Amino acid sequence: MMENQSLPFEQYTTANLNPDILEKITTLEKELQSDSNQDIILIAYEEK
């Protein structure tokens, strides 16, 4: 990789979400896992 080239997620950080939003994400993860029979993990990012 070239030295001056940034990594794809370098401009992002994990999102600081309130508990209600985190609960919605967890619920969606469980629904997706149930529908797909796969381990699903959703990750929230925001720009730095």
pLDDT at res. 5: 62
**b/e sequence 28-41, b meaning 16+ C-beta within 10 Å:** eeeeeeeeeeeeee
Closest CA to 28 of 15, 14, 44: 44
State pLDDT tens for residues 1-48: 455 566 788 899 999 999 999 999 999 999 999 999 999 999 999 999
pLDDT at res. 13: 95
Q: Is the whole-model pTM more than 0.95?
A: no
Structure tokens at 4: 């001056």
Q: Report which residue type is found at 21.
A: I
pLDDT at res. 1: 43
pLDDT at res. 20: 98
Distance of CA 36 to the CA centre of its chain: 18
